[in-house]
Structure 1
């Protein structure tokens, strides 16, 4: 009788061990897949390190994107370039000179249709409290001073800006334009930092162009930069 009871105990112990072993494998596989997902989400792109002339497909592939992920649904039929706007529905790890870019910001890459080489990028950073710090971190390795600076102040008493209806704006607005020339890398940076003190919001626009590109002069004119800087 004792032998039968002992045999049943041993059999139960063996069955429990077998069940535990079968549950370990699925858990280990889930752990691996989670690590892979985290690795994909950690793919980074710092625009300050972006090399002009790089292939758009290679740059996007490094952060698990393709040109099919373009947030723009328009195709540039007549032009010789395309714009890729980064999608907001993906968790991307984007930054510029170490400053994180949020999901609400607008970022675009411009590349030639013929060879897919990047020649410009633009971004509109919304309500970044450290906009001056961002500009400083981008330009600190370029030179000691900008090639051009212009500051404009709009008030109710002295309006200089117009709204979408052509009426004078009455808000207290400060706008600073800066142009920096990276002569070593042949890159031109345009910054337009607008702060609306009345509404407590702000917008920093950054335009970065390859000065050696055939598109440089055309884009400076297209963005009306030649109204204040034409070099």
Structure 2
């Protein structure tokens, strides 16, 4: 009888311990789950480091990738942020984005560039202002203007563009983090549309020169 009582006591103790342990684990999981940030500060994306390390400040990991495709024949992969999240640069609320993608190498998971696209977003020029504030004087600036009388662009059909479009091409160097920023901003004054593309590349990464060629940046942003 004493043996049965002892066994019952031990079993009850083990059950209680398991219950407490489960509760502790649940609490840990809950804390991890709530660590995911609603707002992504784009200026806090660190390049030339492992993707996992890059995502940690945002409470994210590879499983949070909004892109499920796999690049079979390429040496890099893409991590895409969900456009449903909130995005900032410094304290500027960027608003709705079209895409934000980090590119990283398969062999060592090192992130070498991120590309941001905004479309029909009223904060495009404010974002350019933040770049100016952060990085100082640009290394390259070019302004192109297309009108019906003086067309310099082609439309989607390969014919002379007749709409009034202003294009700005700007390059900055973030010397503190060894990152080059290439910005293309197009504003269609005829249709009241705009598009901004930012390509930020780590100067210290071995993929730098190859990505410059791949994106034809040396043609658009001559030295």
Q: Supply the distance in 2 between the matched residues of 1:184 and 1:60 (Cα, whole angstroms).
A: 20
1:199 Cα deviation after fit: 0.5
Unaligned runs of 5+ in 2: 1-29
- The equivalent position to 1:75 in structure 2, one of 60, 65, 70, is 70
- Would you say 1:54 and 2:49 are equivalent positions? yes
Question: Does the C-alpha gap of structure 1 residues 100 and 87 become closer, same or farther in structure 2, counting only changes over 3 Å?
Answer: same
Q: Supply the distance in 1 between the matched residues of 2:35 and 2:44 (Cα, whole angstroms).
A: 20
The answer (yes or no) to whether the contact 1:42–1:93 under 8 Å persists in 2 is: no
Question: Does the C-alpha gap of structure 1 residues 140 and 173 become closer, same or farther in structure 2, counting only changes over 3 Å?
Answer: same
Aligned pairs, number: 195
TM-score normalized by the length of structure 2: 0.77
Unaligned runs of 5+ in 1: 1-34
Q: Supply the distance in 2 between the matched residues of 1:93 and 1:53 (Cα, whole angstroms).
A: 24
Pairing of 1:174-213 with structure 2 (within 5 A): 174-213=166-205
Q: Which structure: larger Rg?
A: 1
- The equivalent position to 2:129 in structure 1, one of 124, 129, 136, is 136
Q: Which residue of structure 1 aligns with residue 158 of structure 2?
A: 166
- Range 154-163 or range 205-214, more displaced: 154-163
- Would you say 1:106 and 2:96 are equivalent positions? no
- Range 169-178 or range 92-101, more displaced: 92-101
1:47 Cα deviation after fit: 1.5
Cα RMSD (Å) of the superposition?
A: 2.6
1:230 Cα deviation after fit: 5.1
TM-score normalized by the length of structure 1: 0.74
